[in-house]
Amino acid sequence: MIPYPEIDPNLISIGPIHIRWYGFMYVLGFFAAYFLIQKQKRAREIGLVGVIAQDLVFYLAIGLVIGARLGYVLFYQYHDYVTYLKNPLEIIATWHGGMSFHGGLLGAALAGWLFCRRKKLPFPAVADCVFVTVPVGLGLGRIGNFINGELWGRTTNVPWAMIFPGGGPLPRHPSQLYESLGEGFLLFILLWKLRQRSFRDGMMVVFFLLFYGIVRFFLEFFREPDPQLGFLAGYFTMGQLLCLAMILGATILAYAIQHGKPGKSA
């Protein structure tokens, strides 16, 4: 067993002001997206550089935060709807914790679509350039989860198991680190390589949805289910069910792209 490295979740504390590692990881993820988007040939072809790229990332950040919070309320707290009806401000209370990746994905996608309409940019091409960069933010976010000592794994006796504060006395999988590696680093390397090949616009989105869905579905077997939901449909977590929806969505989108008008991606 490896001792859990208890790191102060607050990166900087000045009086009542606290800058947390988790929020800092979000900021790093958006900065990485801003620079990596502009490194892509397709982004330069459609003019997704400079101020335009900066504005896009701003839209995506707003959409992601709103979508992530609403997604958490809808996907993971739907059984407690009475509380939110009585206290609607709780819906936006991100400081209480609770963000959903799948909700954030939908929110960012909607914000990106609105941005493309406003700037008259091709949404499939822009989406390709953005989705290639998403795993960087995901990997950093999972490290933030690890520092917070949250979203820990299931109990285990593997040599690298850890006892998490708030996770009880039994050793658990450091599943946040598994996800940071699989959903973050490895997925980014794969997508960054694939982007160099010639595909129709929109196919990088397909690859992200497909590979993320598969990787996250597998890694969920090491992660403790959300306590308020437990297992659904017998043995699956909410995260796994949402990943199955992603895989299905990737399949439908790939079919639509292959039978639509040609468009290139690079």
| Per-residue DSSP letter, 122 | -
The DSSP-derived string for 25-81 is HHHHHHHHHHHHHHTSHHHHHTT--HHHHHHHHHHHHHHHHHHHHHHIIIIISGGGH
Measured between alpha carbons, how far is 215 from 187 in angstroms, rounded to an integer? 9
Measured between alpha carbons, how far is 149 from 162 in angstroms, rounded to an integer? 11
Region for residue 97 given its phi and psi (left: phi exceeds 0; alpha: psi -120 to 50; beta: otherwise): left
Q: Residue-wise over 122-159: b if at least 16 C-beta within 10 A, else e?
A: bbbbbbbbbbbbbbbbbbbbbbbbbbbbbbbbeebeee
- CB burial class (10 A; 0-12, 13-18, 19+) of residue 104? buried
Phi, psi of 18 (to 5 degrees): -130, 130
Residue (of 139, 171, 133, 173) closest to 153 by Cα position: 173
Measured between alpha carbons, how far is 12 from 17 in angstroms, rounded to an integer? 8
Binding-site residues, please? 142
257's tokens: 């792209």
Q: CA torsion sign, 207 to 211 to 212 to 214?
A: positive
